[in-house]
Amino acid sequence: MNNFNETLNEKVVRIKFSKEDRNNFIQDYKPFIAAAVEKCVGKYVVYGEDDELSIGLMAFEEAIKQYEQSKGSFLSFAQTVIKRRLIDYYRKEKKHKEVTFLNDYGSDSSDSEEMYEYAVTNQQAQNKYQEKEINELRRIELVQLKEELNKYQLTFNDIAKSSPKHKNTKKAYLDIVKYIIDNPELVKKIKTKTYLPVAEIESGTKLPRKTIERARNYVIAATVILTGDYYCIREFIDWGWQK
């Protein structure tokens, strides 16, 4: 049974003892696993072709089984487990496929030009693959974010409408978000009680109560995204803080 109010971390704890749920979860997060493996090994990998991805899949399932919420973010924990298992794999096999650099080839101009074309084409293919991976991860994160915001009775449309338009308002909203994130107990209160503690924020920031109340939707969304497992969304969204 799906619980649309649970966070990703809570979901992992719930499914860890169900093989079927684990398998479905792993399938959904195969793009994340591939991205984590590529980050560790520094090369393009393909399911069904690279042993490193098989190691990554097993490590991801291991992370699910071992995860407890006291360990913090599940995705960060999973990345650590994947990295450790890849290191173990390379130590055991005593081999690591090194990246071949262009200067490993002869200096003949025709060969160099051909290799340059190959390198550019290969890089374009890799970039396209990585873009696809990132888009898939972002889609997964958006589904999770929609479910989490639902706890606060918020929609993406609500967030868009509450986005600050003026420089002074943007600064005030940012000050509120920074204050909350710098106070873990406040973050915990917001996430467990699903409301914005206006009086505490007013006391801590010295901002007008009306400003804080108007900022509610935006501040809650920013807090959820910046303290949750939303790595792709954080990079994708322009909060307008630098304008």
Q: What is the pLDDT of residues 42-52, one digit of tens each?
A: 778 888 888 88
What Cα–Cα distance (Å) separates residue 124 from each residue in 74, 104, 120, 134? 32, 21, 6, 15
- 159 within 8 A of 13, measured Cβ to Cβ: no
Looking at the domain assignment, is residue 1 inside a domain? no
- Residues constituting the chain: 243
Question: Is residue 3 assigned to a domain?
Answer: no
| Nearest residue to 212 via CA among 167, 240, 239, 176 | 176
> Based on the domain organization, do 145 and 162 belong to the same domain?
no
Task: Give yes or no for residue 25 having a pLDDT over 60.
Answer: yes
Assess if residue 242 is contained within a domain.
no
The answer, as to whether pTM is greater than 0.75, is: no
Tally of structural domains, the chain: 2
pLDDT at 133 over 80: no
142 within some domain: yes
- Selected residue with higher pLDDT from 55 and 113: 55
Residue 198 lies in a domain: yes
Q: pLDDT band for position 236 (50/70/90)? A: low
Question: How confident is residue 2, by pLDDT bands cut at 50, 70 and 90?
Answer: very low
Average confidence score pLDDT of the chain: 79
| 128 shares a domain with 26 | yes
Domain contains 243: no
DSSP state of 43: S
Within this chain, do residues 164 and 74 fall inside the same structural domain, yes or no? no
pLDDT, position 6: 67
Predicted local distance difference test score (pLDDT) of residue 114? 44
Say which amino acid occupies 71.
K
- The per-residue pLDDT for 190 is 93
* Residue from 231, 166, 221, 220 nearest 195 by CA: 220
- Region 191-209: what's the mean pLDDT? 94
Residue 242 burial (CB count, 10 A)? 6
Residue 63 has what pLDDT? Answer: 94
Nearest to 237 by CA among 211, 215, 218, 216: 218
Q: Which of 120, 150, 180 is the last residue of a domain?
A: 150
pLDDT tens digit sequence for 63-83: 999 998 888 888 888 988 998
- Predicted local confidence at residue 14, as pLDDT: 92
Residue 140: give the domain boundaries: 8-150
